[in-house]
Structure 1
Amino acid sequence: MLITDIGLLLYWAVVFAGLIPPELAYQDYTNPILTDWNASFVLLDLAASLTGLATLCTTSSPRPLMTVSLTLTSTAGLQAITFWALRGDFTLTWWLPNLFLLLFPLPALIVLLRPPTTTAANR
């Protein structure tokens, strides 16, 4: 989670600094619609990253914040995958990172959404 959250923040720092060569960004970097589409993820990605980092820094009840962070991360991946699928564009440089964002939170979310078990120590 830490690596993903820092990775998203680094990605946006690199994008805003203009350090990603157009050929690595996406197929038609000059298309303003694709540029705007990519930028539309800033708030979602920042919310996912910042809630994730806050989760890792909190000592009291991180479960709700972690659930929000992982849900936002998975949503960002799903939205990107859906967009590229609708366009019929299956470029691995976009699919692989976004499939990772979509799928890596799911096992943790399954665990987080289960009701807590009662143990002898909790009774």
Structure 2
Amino acid sequence: MSKRLAGLILVTDTLFLTYWFFSLLHIFGLFELPASMMYGDFEEPRVFAWNWSFFPIDVLFSLSGLLAVRLSRRGDPRWRPVAIISLCLTFVAGFMACAYWAILGEFDPAWFLPNLALVIWPLFFLPSLINAAAQPT
């Protein structure tokens, strides 16, 4: 795994796990998130549910990404398929969020651009990972 890919995975996945950690603390009343940092209409039940619908996919892409980095550092060739899974889930999570905000016509850079980054950066690595995984050993 290239240093660039490992770095992007580590930063993205650590940030997402941190986001969900503080979101869980907020749910349990242990941490107050400033309203200025929240997405539009975050207090509406449907929007709240929409946001939490991303929890499973975000945790899955984060944990699989961290596992891919760990496997790569150990020299375990299974890192490639695990990284492919992680990057596909990352792309899908970002794409779903961008689609939601685009349908609403809300392009708040604080929320739209990070999700757009989740769509774009995996595309730089997926083709080569898929090609390498398809090569006979």
TM-score normalised per structure 2:
0.80
2:19 matched to which residue of 1? 11
1:51 matched to which residue of 2? 64
Question: Aligned equivalents of 1:71 and 1:20: distance in 2?
Answer: 30
Is this contact kept in 1: 2:13–2:65, CA < 8 A?
yes
C-alpha change, 1:20 and 1:63, in structure 2 (3 Å) is same
Aligned residue pair count: 119
Question: Aligned equivalents of 1:115 and 1:96: distance in 2?
Answer: 30
Give unpaired runs (5+ residues) of structure 1. Answer: none
TM-score normalised per structure 1:
0.89
Provide the identity percentage: 35
Give unpaired runs (5+ residues) of structure 2. Answer: 1-8, 27-31
Question: Aligned equivalents of 1:117 and 1:50: distance in 2?
Answer: 24
Q: Stretches of 4+ moved more than 3 A in 1? A: 115-118
How far the C-alpha of 1:96 sits from its partner, in A, is 1.1
Q: Higher mean Cα deviation, 26-35 or 46-55?
A: 26-35
Any residues of structure 2 matched to 1:1-123 within 5 Å, and which?
1-18=9-26, 19-58=32-71, 59-61=75-77, 62-115=79-132
Is this contact kept in 2: 1:23–1:29, CA < 8 A?
no
Aligned-residue RMSD, C-alpha: 1.8
Q: Higher mean Cα deviation, 107-116 or 64-73?
A: 107-116
